[in-house]
Amino acid sequence: IYYESRLAKIRLSEADQHILDERVEEVTENDELTDRQKRFAKWTSKEAVVGSRKRLQQVAADLVSHFEQRLTAAAGKGMIVCMSRRICVALHNEIIRLRPQWYDAADDEGAIKIVMTGSASDPLDWQEHIRNKPRRKAIGDRLKDPEDPLKLVIVRDMLLTGFDAPVLHTMYIDKPMNGHNLMQAIARVNRVFGDKEGGLIVDYIGIAQDLKNALAVYMANTGKGQLTLDQDEAVAKMMELYEIVVDMFGPAPKLASASLASTSLASTGSASGAPPELVEGGTRGFDYRQYFELAPRDKLNFILSAANYIAGLTEEKDGEIVRNGKERFKQNVIRLQKAFALAVPHSKTMDIRDDLAFFQAIKARFAKFDEQIKVRTNEEIETAIRQIINDAIISHEVVDVFDATGIKRPDISILSNEFLAEIEGMAHKNLAFELLKRLLNDEIKARSKTNLVQSRKFSEMLAETVKRYQNGLIDSARIIGELITLAQDIRQADRRGEHMNLRVDELAFYDALADNPTAEAVLGDQTLKLIAHELVESVRRNTSIDWQLKQSVQAKLRVLVKRILRKYKYPPDDPGTGEYTTSVNKVLDQAELLADYWTANE
């Protein structure tokens, strides 16, 4: 939980404070008053000043601005705690005067609501906010729902204990509170939710000392460490993380003219233009601040160049060079985003806002390479390519991403020689690697639904090749060549079934059978084909839609498979050896894989 004091925004003048003190003295100097009456008089006097229209106008204006900036940095909701029901209603009215679009009389509409109890004897303008228990619960349920348009609730005592809405990230306190009640209240915003880094307590009335006292008791009783942090610490952390991200671009000096950069990129019409990577004194760097001077169409090219630069970065870990720029950048930007969300609306967040948006654009570009998309057909794969570097809309201008990356719009299989040649010719080699790795992953994943041995083999080959690249053993040009070779191997593997006169499912069983080191030599190729054909016919005939739910059906399938294998004396190893057991289990696994595939696609 982070704490932010905004007393300076609505502080009482010394004259007002003096008048307040005098009035309280006048009311409480009567000796006949009980201690309770004196406390009530002081509370009433303070409530009158805290709830003055002028002050509430200041609070409303500051709160609306503050909360809107919070929402731009991180999705979430807020709660306002007021001294009295009168102030709840008055502050609500001041807020909707500034943002009338937030108001709606219906319980299930509107962005702001008051949650309070009352009776028919209360003032007329309070009545629309007085709800029975079911209606109050419905408002609470709306607040809990991240997708519901309700963003702010105003309370006096309701919802401050026993109410959990993890989506809450900001609490505005305008009510004197202390001790256990204060701890209960601030706990509303410290629940874990999504990427939420923490909750923020905004103090409009001066609870800092009460908060410290309550925390001291809490820590003494629980033994836990610091629960709240000053928002200045969040700002300091944000700036530290900002410098870490900026440093990843290296010490690049400015180009002589931003317009020169724009011209050099725009003149190419593609990402093949010279990227703004500069070398000075042998040190590489990338001047990302040119981005803010470019024309909209040139900005996509620039983002791709920046992503390509980051993807090629290396660092030394445990005495070895590791190419991990993409992962480091994504992690650092995520941490910066979270720190930024906590620091908003501090002035320094506005200073780095545009830079952060640029960093997020690069991270989003990388995310397209990491998303898992289920791909089963060439048509779906071609669609996936269009999603990998998605259509970019910058300043309302739609940019063709295939032009931007230098890749012709593919009307062919991604494993064709023509398409692989396009990948090999990409100007951004590090992005070409990410693109090809992603596409091969999807190709292998598609095969993992039908062919166990083939998918494992290609998955291991891909992982080993990528590992060598990430460890700096091969460069970007070499890795692309090796991945293209792997793509060609996958394409060739697809054609084996045609040459061997085997269907896809028969080829899958054949590969599982032939994976035994001695099977082909001892039994012969024709026998393995015969076993594969018989396995397909038998397993498919005995597979039902609910086979996974019925142990009897599963047991029957295993018996059928083992009976066919024994019939042909497969595998040709001693039944007591590990090789024998491994081979049998591999065929059983392949049978279950195809049973899943058949039932899912019939």
* Residue-wise pLDDT tens digits, 409-432: 443 355 567 677 776 777 677 777
Amino acid at 546: D
pLDDT tens-place string over residues 102-136? 999 999 999 999 999 999 999 999 999 999 999 99
Radius of gyration of the CA atoms of the chain, in A: 33
Distance CA 73, CA 55 (A): 27
Q: Is 514 helix (H, G, I), strand (E, B) or coil?
A: helix
Is 70 exceeded by the pLDDT of residue 276? no
Distance of CA 225 to the CA centre of its chain: 29
pLDDT tens-place string over residues 173-213? 999 888 878 888 888 887 777 767 778 888 888 887 787 77
pLDDT tens-place string over residues 140-182? 999 999 999 999 999 999 998 888 888 999 999 999 888 878 8
Residue in 76, 236, 252, 249 with CA at minimum distance from that of residue 168:
76
pLDDT tens-place string over residues 41-92? 666 767 777 888 888 998 999 999 999 988 888 889 999 999 999 999 999 9
Is 60 exceeded by the pLDDT of residue 381? no
Do the Cβ atoms of 590 and 453 come closer than 8 Å?
A: yes
> What is the per-residue pLDDT for 545?
64
> What is the per-residue pLDDT for 14?
57
The DSSP H or E segment spanning 2 is: strand 2-5
Q: Is 230 helix (H, G, I), strand (E, B) or coil?
A: strand
Burial class for 208, CB neighbours closer than 10 Å (0-12, 13-18, 19+): middle
Please give the residue that has the higher pLDDT: either 592 or 256.
592
Residue 467 pLDDT grade (very low, low, confident, very high; cuts 50, 70, 90) = confident
Is 80 exceeded by the pLDDT of residue 240? yes
> What is the per-residue pLDDT for 108?
94
Distance CA 215, CA 523 (A): 77
Distance CA 557, CA 590 (A): 12
> What is the per-residue pLDDT for 338?
82
> What is the per-residue pLDDT for 312?
84
Instruction: List 367's β-bridge partners, or say none.
Output: none
Amino acid at 422: E
> What is the per-residue pLDDT for 27?
55
> What is the per-residue pLDDT for 64?
95
Distance CA 335, CA 78 (A): 22
Is 90 exceeded by the pLDDT of residue 314? no
Is 70 exceeded by the pLDDT of residue 263? no
Residue 380 pLDDT grade (very low, low, confident, very high; cuts 50, 70, 90) = very low
Predicted model pTM: 0.49
> What is the per-residue pLDDT for 337?
85
Token code pair at residue 442? 């999807």
- Of 335-344, 367-376, 501-510, which one has max mean pLDDT? 501-510
Residue in 500, 481, 453, 413 with CA at minimum distance from that of residue 594:
453
Token code pair at residue 155? 């309370």
CB atoms near residue 52 (< 10 Å) = 15
Find tokens 């099977």 and name the residue: 519
Give buried/exposed letters for 434-451 (b at 16+ CB in 10 A, else e).
Answer: bbbbbbbbbbbbbbebbb
Distance CA 18, CA 26 (A): 12
Please give the residue that has the higher pLDDT: either 6 or 602.
6
pLDDT tens-place string over residues 451-462? 888 888 888 888
> What is the per-residue pLDDT for 281?
36
Strands in 86-210 per DSSP E: 112-115, 152-155, 168-174, 200-203
Which whole number is the average pLDDT over 331-343?
86
Token code pair at residue 150? 């309700």
Do the Cβ atoms of 434 and 330 come closer than 8 Å?
A: no
Token code pair at residue 561? 């498979």
Is 70 exceeded by the pLDDT of residue 383? no
* Phi, psi (deg, nearest 5) at residue 324: -135, 25
* Phi, psi (deg, nearest 5) at residue 264: -65, -35
Do the Cβ atoms of 500 and 507 come closer than 8 Å?
A: yes
Distance CA 594, CA 454 (A): 14
Which whole number is the average pLDDT over 499-503?
87
Which whole number is the average pLDDT over 253-264?
33
Is 80 exceeded by the pLDDT of residue 575? no
Distance of CA 53 to the CA centre of its chain: 42
Report the percentage of the chain scoring pLDDT > 90.
19
In the chain the domains, ranked by start, together with CATH numbers, are 2-227 (3.40.50.300), 371-500 (no CATH), 504-600 (no CATH)
CA distances for 602 relative to 443, 541, 543, 596, 597, angstroms: 22, 13, 11, 10, 9
pLDDT tens-place string over residues 503-530? 888 888 888 888 888 888 888 889 999 9
CB atoms near residue 92 (< 10 Å) = 23
Length in residues, the chain: 602
Do the Cβ atoms of 547 and 557 come closer than 8 Å?
A: yes
DSSP 382-425: HHHHHHHT--EEETTEEE-HHHHHTPPPP-S-TTSHHHHHHHHT
